[in-house]
Amino acid sequence: MHQLMFWEAIRRAHDEEMDNDPMVICMGEDIGVVGGTYKATQGLYDKYGPERVMDTPISENGYTGLAIGASFIGVRPIVEIMSVNFAWLAMDQIFNTAAKVRYMSGGQLEAPVVIRSPGGTAHQLGAQHSARMEKVFMGIAGLRVVTPSNPKQAYGLLKSAVRCNDPVFINEHELMYNMKGDVPDDEYFHPLEGLEVARRGKDISLFAYNISVHWCLQAAEILASQYQIDAEVIDLYTLSPLDRKGIVKSVSKTHRAVIVEEAEPTVGVGAEIMAIINEECFYELDAAPARVSAANVPIPYNHRLEKEAIPDVEDVIKTVLATLGR
C-alpha cells in the first residue's frame, strides 16, 4: 500500500487500463493538453497521443454520443464530463442509447462506455455548478452507477468499470480530489456491486456515499466519545444496483437507521434506502428511519447561505440523537 491523492488514483487507473488495452481511449473537455480540470488525466496526452486522449469541443451531447457509438464496435471509451451539471446535455445519449441498446438490440450490441463526472457542492460555485445528480442516474435502468468515497475505491472502480460490458456512470465529488488514502501497490479491481462497512457498530446504522461517508465517520467518533453511542457506517459506493441484502443486514443488527446525503431529499437516494428498509425489515425497526439531506433550494453562491443549505457532521449527530430518543 502507498498513499495517493484521489485524482492520482484515478489517473493511475486510466494509465494502467490504456496501457493494457489499445482500445481504451479518453474523451472530454481539456483532458488532453491541460491534463484535466482536476488533473485526472495529467500526462496521458503526451504518453498516448491525441488519437487516444481526445480534447473535445464544449458539446457534451456530441462527444458522449460519439463515445457510445464507438463502444458498439469494440472501443472502450472513458468519457469525462467536466461537471455533472453539464451531463444534462448528454442525457439523451446516456438514457436512450447507452442504457438501452443491449435490450433493444436483443443482446446484439453492447455499450461498454465509462462516463466519469465530478459533482456535489464545492466552494461558492453557484447553483449551476453545484448539482448532485446521482439520483437521476440511479433511475436509469440498464446503467450502473458507482460513487467512490476514497482513493482506493476511485482506482479500483474505474478499472473494473473499463472492463465491464455495461455502461457505467462514476459519480465523483469535487471536494475529494485532493484527499489522500491508501491504494494497493498491486493491480486492484473493486467490485461494481455491493457496499462496504466503513465502521462497525451496534446501536444505529448510518448510510452514506462519497463525501457523506466522511461526515458519518466523524459523527460516529463524536457519538462514541461523548454519548457512548456505537454507530455503524455503511458506505454505499454502488448506487445502482443498490445492495438490498447489505442494507437489511445492517438494519437488522442495529434496528435503527439514518441516511445521510448531500443532495436534496425529494426523490433521492435517502428516499430509496428508506423504501428498502420499510419493505424488507419494517418489523426489525425500533424507530422510524430518518434522513439528513440538503435544503430543497438551488445552492446559493453566498458562502454562509451555501453552508446553511448543505448538511454537515453536526446535523448527523443531532439526527442520530433524535432517532435514539436522546
Q: How many CB atoms lie within 10 A of CB 185?
A: 8
Of the candidates 29, 60, 172, 174, the residue annotated as catalytic is 60
- Structural element, H or E, at residue 240: strand 238-240
Digit-coded pLDDT (tens) for 128-162: 888 899 999 999 999 999 999 999 999 999 999 99
* 238-275 per-position pLDDT tens digit: 999 999 999 999 999 999 999 999 999 999 999 999 99
CA 81 centroid distance within chain: 14
**What is the pairing mode between strands 2-5 and 180-183?**
antiparallel
* Known active-site residue 190: no
Catalytic residue among 8, 29, 80, 129: 129
272 is catalytic: no
Instruction: Evaluate whether 190 touches 159 at the Cβ level (below 8 Å).
Output: yes
Tell me the whole-structure pTM to 2 decimals.
0.96
Q: Chain-centre distance of CA 108, in angstroms?
A: 29
What does DSSP assign to residue 166?
A: S
User: Cα separation of 61 and 326, whole Å?
Assistant: 50
Residue 94 DSSP label: I
d(CA 301, CA 72): 41
- Average pLDDT of the residues of the chain: 96
DSSP symbols for 276-315 = HHHHHHGGG-SS--EEE---SSPPPSSHHHHHHHS--HHH
DSSP 92: I
Domains of the chain: 2-183 (3.40.50.970), 196-323 (3.40.50.920)
| Distance separating alpha carbons of residues 231 and 254, to the nearest angstrom | 8
pLDDT tier, 55 (very low <50, low <70, confident <90, very high otherwise): very high
